[in-house]
Amino acid sequence: MFKVHAVAAHRLPQLLRQMPKAELHIHIEGSLEPELIFALAQRNGVALPYASVEALRAAYAFTNLQSFLDIYYAGASVLLHEQDFYDMAWAYFERAAADHVVHAELFFDPQTHTERGVPMETVIHGLHRACVDAKAQLGVDAQLILCFLRHLSEEAALLTLQEALPFKDKFIGVGLDSSEVGHPPEKFTQVFALAKAHGLHLVAHAGEEGPPAYIWSALDVLHVERIDHGVQAIHDPVLMQRLAKDRVPLTVCPLSNQKLCVFPNLADHNIAQLLDAGLCVTINSDDPAYFGGYMNDNFVQTFAATGMNAQQAYALARNSFEASFVSETQRQHWLHELKVCFEGFVEHDD
Ligand code: HPA
Ligand code: ZN
pLDDT in tens, 294-347: 999 999 999 999 999 999 999 999 999 999 999 999 999 999 999 999 999 976
C-alpha 322/C-alpha 68 separation (Å) is 30
For residue range 176-200, list pLDDT tens digits in order. Answer: 999 999 999 999 999 999 999 999 9
Hey, what CATH topology would domain 9-349 get? TIM Barrel (3.20.20)
**Mean pLDDT for the stretch of residues 225-229:** 99
pLDDT tens readout for residues 83-120: 999 999 999 999 999 999 999 999 999 999 999 999 99
Give residue 209's pLDDT band: very low, low, confident or very high (50, 70, 90). very high
* Active site members: 208
Residues whose CB is less than 8 angstroms from the CB of residue 134 and which lie 6 or more positions away in sequence, other chains included: 89, 90, 93, 96, 97, 104, 140, 141, 142
Average pLDDT, the chain: 97
Provide the pLDDT for residue 3: 86
Q: Domain extents for the chain?
A: 9-349
Residue closest by Cα to atom 2 of ligand 1: 178
pLDDT in tens, 247-285: 999 999 999 999 999 999 999 999 999 999 999 999 999
Choose the residue to mutate in 26, 27, 106, 108 for probing ligand 1, maximizing ligand atoms within 8 Å of C-beta. 27
User: What pLDDT was estimated at residue 192?
Assistant: 99
Reported confidence tier of residue 348, pLDDT bands at 50, 70, 90: low
Positive or negative: CA dihedral 233, 237, 238, 243 = positive
Q: Is the CB of 99 under 6 A from ligand 1?
A: no
Q: Which atom of ligand 1 is nearest to the CA of 208?
A: 1
Task: State whether the beta carbon of 178 lies less than 6 angstroms from ligand 1.
Answer: yes
Is the CB of 287 within 6 Å of ligand 1? yes
Return d(Cα 54, Cα 57) in angstroms, integer. Answer: 5
- pLDDT of amino acid 346: 73
Looking at the chain, the whole-number percentage of residues with pLDDT higher than 70 is 99
Cβ(320) – ligand 1 distance below 6 Å? no
Rounded (5°) CA angle 52-58-64:
135
**pLDDT given at position 1:** 67
Q: What angle do CA 245, 296, 99 make, to 5 degrees?
A: 110
Q: What is the mean pLDDT of residues 134-143?
A: 98
Instruction: Specify the pLDDT at position 347.
Output: 61
- Whether the CB of 228 sits within 6 Å of ligand 1: no
C-beta of residue 233 within 8 angstroms of C-beta of residue 215: yes
Residue 41 amino acid letter:
A
For 48, 68, 73, 110, 138, the CA distances from 54, given in Å and listed in that order, are 13, 17, 18, 28, 31
Q: Is 94 helix (H, G, I), strand (E, B) or coil?
A: helix
Please tell me the number of Cα atoms within 13 Å of 126 on its side-chain side. 24
Q: Which residue has the least CA distance to atom 3 on ligand 1?
A: 178
Contact residues for 262 (Cβ-Cβ < 8 A; gap 6+) = 208, 209, 231, 256
pLDDT, residue 114, reads: 98
65 Cβ below 6 A of ligand 1: yes
| % of the chain residues with pLDDT over 90 | 97
Question: Residues near 220 by Cβ (< 8 Å), separated by ≥ 6?
Answer: none
Candidates 66, 176, 177: which one to mutate for ligand 1, based on the most atoms within 8 Å of Cβ? 177
**Contacts of residue 105, Cβ cutoff 8 Å, sequence gap at least 6:** 22, 23, 24, 26, 142, 143, 144, 145, 172, 173, 324, 325
Sign for the CA dihedral angle at 213, 219, 222, 226 comes to positive
Ligand 1 centre from 75 Cα, in Å?
14
Instruction: Kindly indicate the confidence band of residue 233, based on its pLDDT and cuts at 50, 70 and 90.
Output: very high
Atom of ligand 1 nearest to the CA of 178: 3
CB of residue 208 inside a 6 A radius of ligand 1: yes
Partners of 333 in the β-ladder: none
What is the pLDDT averaged over residues 36-59?
96
pLDDT tier, 74 (very low <50, low <70, confident <90, very high otherwise): very high
Ligand 1 center to 136 CA (angstroms):
29
| pLDDT at res. 24 | 99
User: Which one of 208, 251, 298 would you pick to mutate in the ligand 1 pocket, going by the greatest count of ligand atoms within 8 A of its CB?
Assistant: 208
Q: Residues 211-240: what's their mean pLDDT?
A: 98
Rounded distance between C-alpha atoms, residue 218 and residue 33, angstroms:
31
- Regarding pTM above 0.95, the answer is yes
* Cα–Cα distance, 32 to 210 (Å, whole number): 26
Q: Using CA atoms, how far apart are residues 131 and 92, in angstroms rounded to an integer?
A: 10
